[in-house]
Structure formats: C-alpha cells, structure tokens
Amino acid sequence: MTGRGQASSGDLLELVRRGRATTRGALQQATGLSRATVGQRLDRLFRAGWLREGAGGPVDSPLGGRPSITLEFDDAHAVVLAADLDTRHARAAVLTLTGEILAEHGGTLVIEDGPDAVLGELGGWFAELLEKAGHRPDEVCGIGLAVPGPVDSETGRVVQPPIMPGWDGYDIRGRLSRAFTERTAGAGGEAGGGAAVAVPVLVDNDANLMAYGEQRTGYADCSAFVLVKVSTGIGAGVVVGGSIFRGIDGGAGDIGHIRVGAEALCRCGSYGCLAAVASGGAVARRLAESGVPASSGSDVRDLLAAGHPEAAALAREAGRRVGDVLATVVTLLNPGVLMIAGDLAGTAFLTGVRELLYQRALPRSTAHLDVVTSRLGERAGLVGAGALVVEHLYAPERAEERLLALGV
C-alpha cells in the first residue's frame, strides 16, 4: 500500500481479495481513509464489475444494529486462458479468476515444430474452448503460458532452452496474442464493433507455474515450497513467501543441468547433466536399448502404470540420482514441502528419491519436510498459469492502470 491514508482503489481490492478487510468499516480501519473516500474508491471497483456485495456479516456492537455488508471479489466478470506446453503434448483451458477450470483440452503439439506453428495452433484451441465454455473473446482478461525452458519474466522470451529448438528469444507474447485475436475474429463481443484490444500474455517456466499452482491450492501456509518436474527433462520450481523465485534472469531451478559425474551427453550439449541420466527421456533411451518400445517420458509413464518391472527398476535408479542432488537443494532452501511431479512421479521413482535424500541431507533439513507427489496432476501448470495472470492484472498498481483505461 502507498501509505496509511493514501490507499488506492487497487489497494482496497487487494485487501478484499486477500480477505484482510471485507467490509467498508474494516477497510476504513485498515487504510485510515474516511468513510466517504472509501465509498468513492469502492464505487470505481463496483463500476468496473470487480467487486460485489455478499451476505451481511455479524453485528459487532452489543447494542445491535444492522449487519455489515461484506465485500467480495467478483470472479464472474472475466475469464483467463491458460496453456501448458510439454515437448510433444499440450493442455489448454478456460479458467475463472479464482482458478476453477471451465473447459479444457489436451492433445499432441510438438514443440520442435517451432513457435509460429505451435502458438498459432494454440490460438485455435483457445477459440474452441471459449465457445465450449460459453464465453466471448472480450471476456478474456489475459493468457498464461507455461513452457519447458528458462524464461526471462521481463520479456516473456525463453533464454537458450535446451529442448525448445527455434524458440530462443522468440516473441511468444506477441505471437500468441495475435493468434488468439486472429482465431476469434468475428466471434462477437467487441464493444461498439471496434478493433480488438491485444490480450496480455504472461509466460513462465512450466515447473515454476506447476509449483505456483500446487502451493497456492494445497500448501498456502508453506513459506518455502519446492516442486521437481521429471518428464522429458528435469526442472524445479521454487515458491518462497508466496511468490515464484526465479533468480536474476529466470534460471533458478534448472537442476536438470547440474553435473553428476556421468559421461552421458545431454541435449544442452554438455556431458554428465542430471537430465541426461535421470529424466524420463533418459529412462526411455535405456529401455529402448534393451528392446522395450519407449521414446519419451510419457511412454515410461505408461509402462510404469502397467507395472513393467524394468521400467520400475530404472525409475527407482533415476530417483536415487535425483535424490542425491535434492539433498543439496533441501539443505540450501530448507523447504517445508518437496513435491515430485511429472511422468516419473510414481512409487518407484519416489522411493529412490527418499533413499538418497534422507541418507545425504542433514537431519535438521528434513525433520519437518514433507516429500509428496502432485495433487493437481496434469492441471498444475494450467492452474499456476491462470493464477499468474490474475495476480499480475489485479495487483494494486496494475489494477489502477486498468481502472483508468476503463474510464472508471
């Protein structure tokens, strides 16, 4: 907040959204604003359709009187689009502003086909999903995208991604916004028949957004949360104090390229990376070498689900290698929750992780650590991407900018 007595409409919205002050009286007390000023600033939020009145609250005075009317964030005034890209598969969805999935679609989308083709196809998916969910294009307030590579959060561009050939430095935000506009042109909903306004697009690493979605929905009280995604590659997302920790330029959590002393060649061009020996792709290669049909992490997942003994043995071995690295991660960050997600996140892999993690990490670092698997499953990245958009668009300063643009 800008200071007691200086709170903006965006600051009041933040207090209501977080549940810190949900009546006019509570907002006056929290901000120091007069009753009239609180009313004026709330009026802007009501006119924008961002707030609504809820049921009356309890009567605080022993003398009785009228109950206070509660204020609620109105999550029905807009929707969010989200997509989660993997190397050969993608998921997309329409979500409410509070994270409920209204419609979703999953299918083959090969990231090696390049950003122009992949993002153009996503634009078509979004158009179909909106129609399925019964919403118009002009009800979309933003798009969130999870990608399997390091992202510069300031520009939304991936930076030297090992498994995303042709994507380095590409203008993902601009292309996806254009693709959405092109595929929904003529679908109705443009005010006054004018030109469509570019929809804001936010891009982040898939493990970051999975961690964000899982932490917010299942572990909101955990102040240090780590998620490790083990699929075709290996990456980690870290949420500290309720915010994604990205490092200086988006490289935080890239544990798949920690050297572990092996001689295997990694897709990044280096030898001995963790991903080269312990990812779903690495396990698939070893299975293929022994005559078992497997070419990707998703193939390994299917074999594990079918109880394939060799796949289980290799997954456990991969888990031990990852657990050895995670002992250092846990000692450094001291998280309350370590979540294993992705194609290999099953019993065999988790057993291997636990074996080495508890053997190598200091007892103090693991005394209050919960090692768990994903709650949201394949939806984690979608939920995290949707939450990223909402937190960005309704943050106090950004909310003020949007209110001015709306003319309220």
Q: In this predicted structure, what is the pLDDT of residue 268?
A: 86
DSSP conformation class of 232 = S
pLDDT for residue 202 is more than 60: yes
pTM score, whole prediction: 0.91
Instruction: Please enumerate in sequence order all residues whose Cβ is within 8 A of that of 394, keeping only pairs 6 or more positions apart, or say none.
Output: 10, 13, 14, 17, 50, 73, 97
DSSP conformation class of 66 = P
Helices 9-17 and 35-48 pack at an angle, to 10 degrees, of 80
DSSP conformation class of 224 = E
- Using one digit for the tens of pLDDT, what is the confidence trace for 163-191? 899 999 999 999 999 999 999 986 655 43
Q: What is the mean pLDDT of the chain?
A: 92
Q: In this predicted structure, what is the pLDDT of residue 65?
A: 54
pLDDT for residue 57 is more than 70: no
On the CB side of 213, CA atoms within 13 Å amount to 31
Question: Quick one: pLDDT band at residue 60, thresholds 50, 70, 90?
Answer: low
pLDDT for residue 395 is more than 60: yes
CA separation for the pair 128, 146 (Å, rounded): 20
Q: CA triplet 333, 343, 306: central angle to 5 degrees?
A: 135
SS3 readout for 140-187: EEEEEEEECCCEECCCCEECCCCCCCCCCCCCHHHHHHHHHHHHHCCC
pLDDT for residue 366 is more than 60: yes
Question: Quick one: pLDDT band at residue 249, thresholds 50, 70, 90?
Answer: confident
Q: In this predicted structure, what is the pLDDT of residue 339?
A: 98
Q: Which residue has the higher pLDDT, 67 or 333?
A: 333
CA separation for the pair 85, 369 (Å, rounded): 30
Element (H, E) at 360: helix 347-360
Q: Taking residues 88-97, report their average pLDDT.
A: 96
Six-digit token string for 176: 């996806």
Nearest to 210 by CA among 380, 59, 63, 354: 380
Q: Taking residues 351-361, report their average pLDDT.
A: 96
- Using one digit for the tens of pLDDT, what is the confidence trace for 95-151? 999 999 999 999 999 999 999 999 999 999 999 999 999 999 999 999 999 999 999
Backbone angles phi and psi of 146, in degrees to 5: -100, 130
Let me know if 138 is exposed, middle or buried by CB neighbors in 10 A (0-12, 13-18, 19+).
Answer: middle
